[in-house]
Structure 1
């Protein structure tokens, strides 16, 4: 079972962001700062090990920390970032959060780590209504399954999880912490409420 200090965390910023007009979601501005800055601020009080998975604008992302890209071509989605991280990092436990989730829980790392048992493959955040499949803590032993899954052409994240020993971690006390911003309209609406709080 991991402690929070034994986990390493990766911000997934490697997607195409087609619903954001193709703009790199981690770098779009929210309340005067790049979205990824909000995510880093939420994580940096919880862990000293933060890296970024990005496939575009890597020079800009390097201003925020260590950056690595997918090993698989053609944007395979979050699983591509997870696959790259499991090759890039040597921690037994690696956590993932999306770059468009600016209000992550302040106890995310501790709560995710504490939920894991010896046989846990994947811990996934649950907001009380839905799982949040990209807010996850995985054990590196899933790598062979992940590689076989990707080699088969599969990309649907939940199908991989069903092949693993998955647990959910209850964050129903913080359901709004997982608001993710996929479109310019969502960004504008969220930004207005963010600045008024």
Structure 2
């Protein structure tokens, strides 16, 4: 069973960020700091093991911790980062958060871990209206399914989850925790509200 002590967490910063004008989202500044710093600040008190999945600017990301890139070329999205993490890390349970979610819950790891049973393949955060597919805790036993899924050319994360024993984790008490910033306009608006 996962616990905050035996899970490893990965910040996904491996995308192309096309809607952010191609700028690397994790390194874009929000309130004077790189966005990844906001994510790390929330995660660090919750877990001992944080790594970063990045395909660009790896040297800059190394200033924040250990970094690994996708094994699959051409930016396959979050599933590419999850696939690489399952090859890169040995933990049975690996959690994921996106680099563009600057106000994640301060009890994310504990709640995600507590929601899992021995049969859970994937736990996914739910904000009360929608699931947050990139905020997830998964068991490494999904690797064969994930590899087959990617080999078939599939990239839709929800389709993979439907093939697994998925549980949703209720964060409806914190609906704004999963605001993600995809465009310069969203970033500017959010920064003004801080």
| TM-score in same-fold range (> 0.5) | yes
Q: Deviations over 1:147-184 (max 9, x none)?
A: 00000000000000000000000000000000000000
Higher percent of residues as helix? 1
Give the Cα separation in 1 of the matches to 2:48 and 2:178.
Answer: 21
> Secondary structure of 1:96's match?
strand
1:192 CA displacement = 0.7
Aligned counterparts, 1:43-54, within 5 A: 43-54=43-54
Q: Where in structure 1 are there 5+ consecutive unaligned residues?
A: none
> Secondary structure of 1:4's match?
coil
Give the Cα separation in 2 of the matches to 1:143 and 1:52.
Answer: 19
**Corresponding residue of 2:75:** 75
Aligned counterparts, 1:4-153, within 5 A: 4-153=4-153
Q: Deviations over 1:46-68 (max 9, x none)?
A: 01100000000000000000000
- Over 3 Å off, 4+ runs: none
1:4 CA displacement = 1.2
> Secondary structure of 1:137's match?
strand
Q: Deviations over 1:76-110 (max 9, x none)?
A: 00000000000000000000000000000000000
Give the Cα separation in 2 of the matches to 1:178 and 1:157.
Answer: 17
Give the Cα separation in 1 of the matches to 2:4 and 2:118.
Answer: 15
> Secondary structure of 1:128's match?
coil
Q: Deviations over 1:1-50 (max 9, x none)?
A: 21110100000000000000000000000000000000000100101100
TM-score w.r.t. the length of structure 2 is 1.00
Q: Where in structure 2 are there 5+ consecutive unaligned residues?
A: none
> Secondary structure of 1:64's match?
coil
> Secondary structure of 2:144's match?
helix
Equivalent pairs counted in the alignment come to: 194
Give the Cα separation in 2 of the matches to 1:20 and 1:145.
Answer: 31
